[in-house]
Amino acid sequence: MWRFIAHRVVYTALTLAAVSLVSFLIIQLPPGDFLTSLAGKMAEQGGDLDSASLAGLKARYGLDQPWYIQYWRWITGILLHGDFGQSFEWNKPVSELLWDRMGMTLLLSLVTLIVTWMLALPIGIYSAVRRYSLLDYVVTFLGFIGLAIPSFLLSLALMYILSRYAGMSVGGLFSPAYVNAPWSWAKLVDLAAHLWLPVLILSTSGTAALIRVMRANLIDELHKPYVQTARANGLGEMELLFKYPVRVALNPFVSTIGWVLPHLFSGAVIVSVVLSLPTAGPLLLSALLAQDMYLAGSFILILSALTVIGTLLSDLLLAWLDPRVRYQ
Amino acid sequence: MTDATATGGLSPPRRKLVELGQWGLIYRRFRKHKLAYWSGFIVLAIYAVALFAEFVAPYSSDRYNPRYIYSPPQMLKMFGRDQNGDLALLYVNGYKVELDPVALQRRFVIDESRVYPVGFFVKGEPYHLFGLIPAERHLIGPVDPDAPMYLWGTDRLGRDLLSRTIHGTRISMSIGLVGVTISLVLGILLGGISGYYGGWADQAVQRTIDFLKSIPTIPLWMGLAAAIPDRMDPLLVYFWITVILSLIGWTDLARVVRGRFLSLKTEDFVMAARLDGCSRQRVIWHHMVPSFTSHIVASVTLAIPAMILAETSLSFLGIGLKPPVVSWGVLLKDAQSLLALTQAPWLFLPGIPVVVAVLALNFLGDGIRDAADPYS
């Protein structure tokens, strides 16, 4: 077991290093850097950035250095001082903008994950046990629809329906009165009142996928000899179901965290843009469009790092649950 | 001769089954999967629309009419009388302008008193089919080319949404095909190397796949797509977007190919071919590849809808394809603001083909996957 853990941790560290390099390369990709677009903006407004101050800014941000030195400065700054660089667009340190947004993204994703499980587990079990029943067909059909509708379309449609027919104002995670208020019970209630819509949208496709996995797995298990044996020994149908086959079929719930997390973060980005939630999504989009490279790169880095760490946790959890995994 | 003796004792239908080749068996199985079978026809129909977009669409994608901005969709009705009292088999109503008393805005509403006959194969805007053959007939359109016929309504410039959606089919559906082709080449090459040679090559490819899979796709795509310069030629943008989408897409295909290679490597017929002195190339291309082509076809079919959804999402965010290119995602970008939606909910309509295409391709892929192994 310790060997397995050590192996996974080393591998995760290597992946994290690669992720940071890719994040940095992505922000280096656009032709020119932030200063070119800044100079362009200044020229548009009639002002002019003289070459002396341009060179001064370049030296200050290390933009005149080759890319690997820039990368080294960037990554050591993050690791040693928690300094993610400066957001040119907001004129603030990136770390000030980052953590609030990431916290909300994490909250949204975790709540969605829990809701996805709470929905998919009972529905999956039901449609496996009562295969080809009416509800099974309904769920399977809804599952396909859930997989086929892009999340942004679903958010737009729900937003339209809610504002048109229920007269609700949707979008955001807080009512205007609470946006800048300190945390309190009332603010938490307000958050819950706003959170359900994005959670519902985000969990749709995940739930649909997980129901299919759960259903298929449980159907496989239900016909295995050990189930017959238990039944022949007179175990009650409910007790039998939850004590053996369901436990075996649960494996995918843990093992899919690895790919559910990237999927969830991806979906959260788009849904947040549509519903203008104060998560990483809208800020990442605007940072990319404005070539605010340190901000955009930090978001991509943190989102990827969280996914990689989440995968590690799910791997360890799975190894703890299912000894067979450790010896592969 | 041996065939005849082997199947001689069987009744004709059984005999036919035995004589069928692998693809015949796969098709037989696939036919039984009703949902997949009919989805196949829908997919074909969508690609036909993409191919003949100029003919199917009533108008070109950029024809605008400032007199009909944000006009609502019309119903296609039957049996009406036009101004001269002539019978119109198919017709649409005209529009009239109404002043919204609350918002104090001009708004178009359907005017039941006006009747514009509509016909099939009518003469309309001239176009070049496939960019070559000059033509001016359209599948459906108003008999009088200047009459307003907007079955899906119009957008903020008075462009016909139905025509634009039909023209968008070409880009949206082909981006899936092109992207999957790139993914397929990469996937077969790398998955094949990984599965056939094993060892450190396998390790390297597997770790690369694990790594690519661990990055959240949308932020990665966004980062890469945002790097495409604004002023680039639309065709090049299209190419780069497909390359970016394939960057993740090849991983799934590589896994399928690798898994197949690994399981086939120990099969008797592969061993027999090798012992017969076949070259490595011959073993791969003549013995192994044909036996998993059907699995590849299934994976490819299931990969296309993911690509379509990805393109649509990126274009919707404004960092994928951009106007004047017309794709479903570009059209849906107009539906982004709630304000536009409450005024013109029909801007949602391009979402319908997205959902239909993705569903049909998913069902089709599922059906092929189930039929892919006819001997099981």
Q: Do the Cβ atoms of B359 and A269 come within 8 Å?
A: no
In total, chain B counts a number of residues equal to 376
Closest residue of A to B231, CA-based?
A31
All residues at 6 or more sequence positions from B30 whose CB lies less than 8 Å from its CB, including other chains = B36, B37, B367, B368, B371
DSSP B347: G
SS3 A294: helix
Q: Do the Cβ atoms of A262 and B213 come within 8 Å?
A: yes
Cβ–Cβ contact A158 with B under 8 A? no
pLDDT tens-place string over residues B230-251: 777 877 888 888 888 888 888 8
Cα distance between residue B304 and residue B293, in whole Å: 17
Q: Cβ of A186: how many Cβ atoms within 10 Å?
A: 12
Q: Cβ of A140: how many Cβ atoms within 10 Å?
A: 16
Torsion angle defined by CA atoms of residues B196, B199, B201 and B203, in that order, rounded to the nearest 10 degrees: 110
Query: Who among B216, B317, B348 is closest to A307 (CB)?
Result: B216
Q: What is the phi/psi pair of residue B122, to 5°?
A: -85, 160
Whether B57 contacts B162, CB under 8 Å: yes
pLDDT tier at A45 (50, 70, 90 boundaries)? low
Residue B182: name the closest of B243, B255, B256 by CA. B243
Closest residue of A to B213, CA-based?
A259
Cα distance between residue B194 and residue B189, in whole Å: 9
B4 or A282: which leads in pLDDT: A282
pLDDT tens-place string over residues B244-279: 888 888 888 888 888 888 878 778 888 888 888 888
State the pLDDT at residue A31. 64
Residue B23: name the closest of B376, B372, B363, B269 by CA. B372
Q: What is the phi/psi pair of residue B105, to 5°?
A: -125, 150
**Which positions in chain B touch A304 (Cβ < 8 Å)?**
214-216, 219-220
Q: If you average pLDDT over residues B174-188, what whole number do you get?
A: 87
Q: Do the Cβ atoms of A19 and B218 come within 8 Å?
A: no
State the pLDDT at residue B315. 86
Specify the pairing of strand A92-93 against strand A86-87: antiparallel
| CATH no. for A95-327 | 1.10.3720.10
Cα distance between residue B294 and residue B23, in whole Å: 8
> In the predicted model, what is the mean pLDDT of chain B?
80
Q: Do the Cβ atoms of A269 and B224 come within 8 Å?
A: no
Q: Cis (ω within 30 of 0) for the bond into A66?
A: no
State the pLDDT at residue A325. 63
Percent of chain B with pLDDT over 70: 91
pLDDT tier at A91 (50, 70, 90 boundaries)? confident
The structural architecture, per CATH, of the domain B165-372 is Orthogonal Bundle (1.10)
Query: What are the start-end ranges of the E strands in A33-113?
Result: 86-87, 92-93
pLDDT at B18 over 80: no
Cα distance between residue A62 and residue B197, in whole Å: 45
Q: If you average pLDDT over residues B94-114, what whole number do you get?
A: 75
pLDDT tier at B3 (50, 70, 90 boundaries)? very low
pLDDT at A59 over 60: yes
Q: Would you tell me the crossing angle of helices A134-148 and A185-222 to the nearest 10 degrees?
A: 120
* Most confident of the ranges A104-118, A136-150, B55-69: A104-118
Query: Who among B222, B313, B341 is closest to A288 (CB)?
Result: B222
Instruction: State both tokens at A88.
Output: 């040119």
State the pLDDT at residue B309. 86
**Which positions in chain A touch B362 (Cβ < 8 Å)?**
144, 147-148
State the pLDDT at residue B63. 80
Q: Do the Cβ atoms of B305 and A148 come within 8 Å?
A: yes
Cα distance between residue B102 and residue A258, in whole Å: 52
ipTM score for this prediction = 0.78
Residue B357, min C-alpha distance to chain A (Å):
9
Where in chain B are all domains bearing CATH 1.10.3720.10? 165-372
Cα distance between residue B174 and residue B177, in whole Å: 5
Integer angstrom CA distances of residue B70 from B156, B163, B330: 6, 15, 17
Percent of chain B with pLDDT over 90: 2
**Which positions in chain A touch B355 (Cβ < 8 Å)?**
145, 148-149, 153
Cα distance between residue B285 and residue A259, in whole Å: 33
> In the predicted model, what is the mean pLDDT of chain A?
78
State the pLDDT at residue B73. 83
Q: Where are chain A's structural domains?
A: 95-327
Instruction: Give the long-range contacts of residues B343-348, CB within 8 A, separation 24 or more.
Output: B343/B70, B344/B70, B344/B72, B344/B153, B344/B155, B345/A160, B345/A164, B346/B72, B346/B73, B346/B152, B346/B153, B346/B161, B347/B153, B347/B155, B347/B161, B348/A153, B348/A156, B348/A157, B348/A160
State the pLDDT at residue B45. 92
Q: If you average pLDDT over residues B56-68, what whole number do you get?
A: 80
Cα distance between residue B294 and residue B367, in whole Å: 11
pLDDT tier at B4 (50, 70, 90 boundaries)? very low
Whether A282 contacts A89, CB under 8 Å: no
* Most confident of the ranges A163-177, A179-193, B149-163: B149-163
Whether B125 contacts B63, CB under 8 Å: yes
Cβ–Cβ contact B226 with A under 8 A? yes
pLDDT at B14 over 70: no
Residues 76-105 of A with CB under 8 A from B: none
pLDDT tens-place string over residues A226-248: 888 888 888 887 888 887 788 77
Percent of chain A with pLDDT over 90: 0
State the pLDDT at residue B209. 85
SS3 B132: coil
Q: How many contacts (CB atoms, under 8 Å) link A and B?
A: 128
Cβ–Cβ contact A168 with B under 8 A? no
